[in-house]
Amino acid sequence: MNAIAPSREQTVRELYAAYLADRKDIAGAMLTDDFTFSSPRDDHIDRTAYFEHCWPKEPLFRGIQIEFLAIKGDEAVVRYRAEKLDGTSFTNMESLRFRGDRIAAVDVYFGRNL
């Protein structure tokens, strides 16, 4: 019996939950082998560099609330508010591109501190 693949919305939500829970194993299973990540600080880095540079070594966030999520075809756009343990927060937008049922690329656009 084949398992039903999660919806793309569910995959996106689970990626942010995995980040918050520091579950690289869960996130890694959602990414393609040739996954790339770009932001104003990281230009088209591979999945190894993504986990080294973008995942906190120590807990950093209290919460991440998805405020907007739209999916069209192979792309999702997310706006979220991240609340840090020190009480500060910020908003970002991300574009995620899918290949099949896994995420092939993420582009981050930094928002503002709140």
Q: What is the CATH number of the domain that holds 48?
A: 3.10.450.50
Residues of the chain with pLDDT > 70: what percent? 96
The per-residue pLDDT for 1 is 45
Residue that is written with structure tokens 């194993």 in the block: 25
Q: Quote the pLDDT of residue 54.
A: 87
pLDDT of res. 114: 77
What would the mean pLDDT of 94-107 be, rounded to a whole number? 97
User: Is residue 74 one of the residues assigned to a domain?
Assistant: yes
Rounded to an integer, what distance in angstroms lies between the CA atom of residue 87 and that of residue 103? 30
Q: Read off the amino acid at residue 80.
A: Y
Specify if 28 maps to a domain.
yes
CB 54 within 8 A of CB 47: no
pLDDT in tens, 6-29: 799 999 999 999 999 999 999 999
Tell me how many domains the chain contains: 1
Per-residue pLDDT of 70-80, as tens digits, reads 999 999 999 99
Does the residue 89 lie in any domain?
yes
Residue 58: per-residue pLDDT: 82
Residue 12 belongs to a domain: yes
Parent domain of 77: 8-113
